[in-house]
């Protein structure tokens, strides 16, 4: 094991975009902490895939929407290796409901996982980053935070909140050389989108200039760049990975 390799903490890394990000960062030489809330078998499979390719990874169970567990996760990663200097906050859930029919507890559940968790894990990792004067923080948001999404007000609002969190945190941490950015993936082939009805998929494809859905690996490729030394002069930005969906006329 390369003891000088960066430690990357990826939340919600057991499947989909998070899995692709974990594999990509490991391929770049990071020691990857694969966080999951309740998918131990899938997280272990990601770890096994990384190790089979010669990388270093370990699974860490934690509900990052819980303040105590988010803090404990950061300390467990630090105890296993050293403090994380790359954080990818990817954990997220979605509920499809009309605003008028959305229960407060459903709204709160989405906000807790999609927005609160990003704040909590950031808070848990930035003290060591400030001490080391280096770090990369990347929030996986969504085009829904920019455009809104039908029957997904809670999801869209939570993802929009990540843009503000990224900009404010980027301003606070810039003096220490820590960058903070957000990605806004568009329609990506994943478990979260697999059950989309065919009629809705056809409508979605019709408004994507590139005419196709994205792949998790395409989001991971941008994360690889933002986590690298080459992105040291990029902070406070939102980067759309969406086939042109958010382009303005």
**Active site annotation includes 233:** no
How far apart CA 93 and CA 203 sit, in angstroms, is: 23
Element (H, E) at 139: strand 135-140
How far apart CA 138 and CA 224 sit, in angstroms, is: 10
Among residues 116, 110, 125, which one has the least CA distance to residue 9? 125
Which residues, in sequence order, are bridge partners of residue 35? 60
Among residues 244, 248, 238, which one has the least CA distance to residue 214? 244
Give 156-165's long-range contacts (Cβ < 8 A, gap of 24+): 157/111, 158/92, 158/110, 158/111, 158/113, 158/114, 158/115, 159/92, 159/114, 159/115, 159/184, 161/111, 161/114, 161/115, 162/89, 162/114, 162/115, 162/118, 163/238, 165/115, 165/118, 165/119, 165/122, 165/139
Q: Which of 60, 107, 119, 155 is catalytic?
A: 155
Active site amino acids = 155
């Amino acid at each position: 094991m390369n003891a000088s390799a960066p430690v990357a903490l990826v939340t919600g890394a057991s499947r989909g975009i998070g899995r692709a990000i974990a594999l990509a960062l490991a391929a770049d030489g990071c020691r990857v902490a694969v966080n999951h809330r309740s998918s131990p078998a899938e997280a272990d499979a990601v770890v096994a895939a990384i190790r089979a390719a010669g990388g270093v990874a370990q699974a860490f169970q934690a509900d990052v929407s819980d303040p105590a567990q988010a803090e404990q996760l950061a300390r467990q990663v630090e105890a296993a290796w050293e403090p994380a200097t790359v954080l990818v906050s990817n954990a997220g859930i979605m509920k499809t409901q009309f605003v008028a029919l959305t229960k407060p507890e459903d709204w709160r559940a989405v906000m807790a996982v999609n927005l609160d968790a990003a704040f909590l894990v950031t808070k848990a990792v930035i003290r060591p980053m400030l001490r080391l004067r280096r770090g990369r923080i990347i929030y996986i948001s969504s085009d829904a935070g920019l455009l809104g999404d039908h029957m997904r007000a809670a999801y869209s609002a939570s993802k929009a909140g990540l843009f503000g969190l990224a900009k404010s945190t980027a301003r606070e941490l810039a003096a220490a050389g820590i960058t903070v950015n957000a990605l806004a993936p568009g329609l990506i082939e994943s478990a979260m989108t697999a059950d989309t009805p065919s009629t809705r998929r056809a409508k979605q494809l019709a408004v994507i200039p590139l005419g196709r859905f994205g792949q998790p690996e395409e989001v991971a490729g941008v994360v690889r760049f933002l986590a690298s030394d080459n992105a040291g002069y990029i902070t406070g930005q939102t980067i759309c990975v969406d086939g042109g969906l958010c382009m303005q006329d």
